[in-house]
């Protein structure tokens, strides 16, 4: 099992290229199942989740080739069920449900896995498929869906924590080949949803309103192959921006899109971090003290839950008390116990973390619990005195492309231990 050995205290300096977005590319790859023709996806990050999705597509009968940052998929003949052991390991695999049901009128998908960050039910996915006319059975760890035909309808996809991103993606993909018009109310507004809609439109779909709370899809008889460039990963960009601020560094994020990071950049500027928006990205730097702030995670365009753990680490370096409230996932403070091992002063009160700074962190062995917690612990290691050993960093490889390599290019002392 791989670990990161980090020697802290070095400001990050230089330029880093932001990779394609994991949360955009997974549903886009699933959408290639909607056509028999070849699809070419560019800007694909080499992540374990992406590799898993490629294997899932292969198990369904598609021909998949992954070279450099280009993935080619040709799903001429596909079947309605994939490899159970592959599908169950990754949360994003649920997004094959909509495309399979739309194309084959049947699908069998195992309940997906993923990070342990709280309850993430798929009830809204199932609600969307039923609304379009599918008959569903949930048994033996599988979702089995059949439909003689899919018919457009109006559906509401708001949940207790807000709209569902993958649920919106699933509904949108299924509706592209349904008869008539489908209207999704309380649709997710994330940039990844818009990116999927752009790809589907390039395939011949008729979609309006993506990026807003109401999406309208007019079904077509068939879709064709297309080429598409995946948007840059806003969460990777947020992670590097926060790391630059935490280490008193000066980092240019090439390919980052500031418009996708408004809530994060607003918080950074409010606490004393310098943010310069460039034509091809942005530059983040800090030289002075950090002010405290309150952060509450919300659906887009609010502060993203996927950047909450990283901001919590940064707040340990602020002068005073900061409040971080998690409104999306109830178990997303699992990184806090490990930060306490480094010397952080954080108290959990229900959905809120009370962070007292400024704290001098000291290196120690710590254990990653999920993808974004892993990134937060790496940032903590970068600012801690001495050496920090971050164990179980396989989580990082799910969502950050060659993170150790990119950090070393910025001057960090990070070594991957392969044990």
Per annotation, catalytic residue among 39, 95, 115, 189 = 115
Q: What is the DSSP track for 361-391?
A: -B--EEE--SHHHHHHHHHHHHHSBSEEEEE
What does the pLDDT read at residue 419?
72
Dig out the tokens for 320 from the structure: 């005073």
**Is the pLDDT confidence value at 240 over 70?**
yes
Q: Compute how many other C-beta atoms are within 10 angstroms of the C-beta atom of residue 28.
A: 28
* Span 89-145, pLDDT tens digits: 676 688 999 999 999 999 988 876 443 433 447 889 999 999 999 999 888 778 899
* Span 57-82, pLDDT tens digits: 999 999 999 999 999 999 999 998 86
Question: How many angstroms separate the most distant Cα atoms in the chain?
Answer: 64
**Is the pLDDT confidence value at 246 over 70?**
yes
What does the pLDDT read at residue 93?
82
Q: Which residue has the tokens 């898993």?
A: 52
Tell me whether residue 385 is exposed, middle or buried, using C-beta atoms within 10 angstroms of its C-beta: 0 to 12, 13 to 18, 19 or more: middle
What does the pLDDT read at residue 161?
78
Strands 181-185 and 214-218: antiparallel
Alpha-carbon distance of 231 to 173, in angstroms, equals 18
- Quick one: which of 185, 187, 184, 226 has its CA closest to 204? 226
Alpha-carbon distance of 71 to 73, in angstroms, equals 7
Report residue 88's pLDDT band, with 50, 70 and 90 as the boundaries: low
Report residue 45's pLDDT band, with 50, 70 and 90 as the boundaries: very high
pTM for this predicted structure: 0.95
Alpha-carbon distance of 47 to 51, in angstroms, equals 6
What does the pLDDT read at residue 120?
46
What does the pLDDT read at residue 115?
39
* Span 165-211, pLDDT tens digits: 999 999 999 999 999 999 999 999 999 999 999 999 999 999 999 99
What does the pLDDT read at residue 84?
66
Alpha-carbon distance of 210 to 192, in angstroms, equals 10
Q: Mean of the pLDDT values across residues 396-414? A: 96
All domains of the chain, ordered by start, with CATH?
2-18+232-418 (3.65.10.10), 22-229 (3.65.10.10)
Contact assessment for residue 386 and residue 365, using Cβ atoms and an 8 Å cutoff: no
What does the pLDDT read at residue 125?
93
What does the pLDDT read at residue 331?
66
**Does the active-site annotation cover 39?**
no
* Span 328-375, pLDDT tens digits: 877 678 899 999 999 999 999 999 999 999 999 999 999 988 888 899
Contact assessment for residue 172 and residue 97, using Cβ atoms and an 8 Å cutoff: no
Q: Compute how many other C-beta atoms are within 10 angstroms of the C-beta atom of residue 220.
A: 15
Alpha-carbon distance of 76 to 101, in angstroms, equals 16
- Quick one: which of 100, 196, 198, 186 has its CA closest to 143? 100
Angle, vertex CA 19, rays to CA 328 and CA 32, nearest 5? 80
Q: Mean of the pLDDT values across residues 48-59? A: 92
At residue 220, φ and ψ (nearest 5 deg) are: -125, 165
Percentage of the chain surpassing pLDDT 90?
83
Strands 250-254 and 13-17: parallel
Alpha-carbon distance of 15 to 23, in angstroms, equals 23
């Amino acid at each position: 099992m791989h670990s990161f050995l980090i020697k802290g205290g070095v400001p990050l300096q230089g330029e880093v290229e932001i990779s394609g977005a994991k949360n955009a590319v997974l549903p886009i790859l699933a959408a290639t199942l909607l056509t028999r023709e070849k699809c070419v996806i560019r800007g694909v990050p080499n992540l374990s989740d992406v590799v898993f999705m490629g294997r899932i597509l292969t198990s369904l009968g598609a021909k998949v080739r992954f070279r450099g940052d280009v993935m080619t998929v040709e799903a001429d003949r596909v079947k309605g069920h994939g490899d159970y052991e592959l599908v169950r390991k990754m949360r994003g695999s649920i997004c094959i449900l909509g495309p399979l049901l739309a194309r084959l009128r049947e699908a069998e998908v195992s309940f997906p896995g993923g990070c342990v960050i709280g309850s993430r039910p798929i009830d809204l996915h199932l609600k969307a498929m039923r609304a379009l006319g599918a008959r569903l059975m949930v048994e033996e760890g599988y979702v089995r869906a059949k439909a003689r035909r899919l018919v457009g309808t109006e559906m509401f996809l708001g949940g207790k924590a807000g709209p569902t991103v993958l649920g919106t993606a699933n509904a949108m993909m299924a509706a592209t080949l349904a008869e008539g018009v489908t209207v999704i109310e309380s649709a997710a507004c994330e940039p990844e949803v818009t990116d999927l809609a752009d790809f589907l439109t390039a395939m011949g779909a008729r979609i309006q309103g993506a990026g807003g709370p109401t999406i309208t899809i007019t079904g077509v008889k068939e879709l064709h192959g297309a080429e598409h460039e995946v948007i840059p990963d806003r969460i990777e960009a947020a992670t590097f921006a926060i790391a630059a601020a935490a280490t008193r560094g000066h980092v240019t994020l090439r390919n980052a899109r500031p418009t996708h990071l408004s809530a994060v950049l607003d918080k950074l500027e409010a606490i004393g971090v310098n943010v310069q928006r460039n034509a091809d990205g942005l530059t983040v730097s800090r030289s002075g003290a950090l002010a405290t702030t309150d952060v509450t995670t919300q659906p887009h365009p609010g502060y993203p839950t996927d950047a909450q753990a990283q901001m919590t680490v940064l707040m340990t370096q602020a002068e005073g008390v900061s409040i971080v409230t998690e409104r999306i996932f109830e178990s997303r403070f699992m990184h806090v116990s490990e930060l306490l091992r480094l010397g952080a002063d954080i108290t959990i009160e229900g959905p809120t973390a009370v962070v007292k700074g400024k704290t001098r962190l000291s290196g120690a062995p710590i254990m990653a619990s999920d993808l974004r917690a892993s990134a937060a612990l790496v940032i903590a290691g970068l600012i801690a005195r001495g050496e920090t050993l971050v164990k179980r960093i396989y989580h990082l490889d799910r969502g950050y492309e060659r993170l150790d390599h990119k950090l070393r290019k910025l001057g960090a002392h990070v070594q991957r231990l392969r044990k």
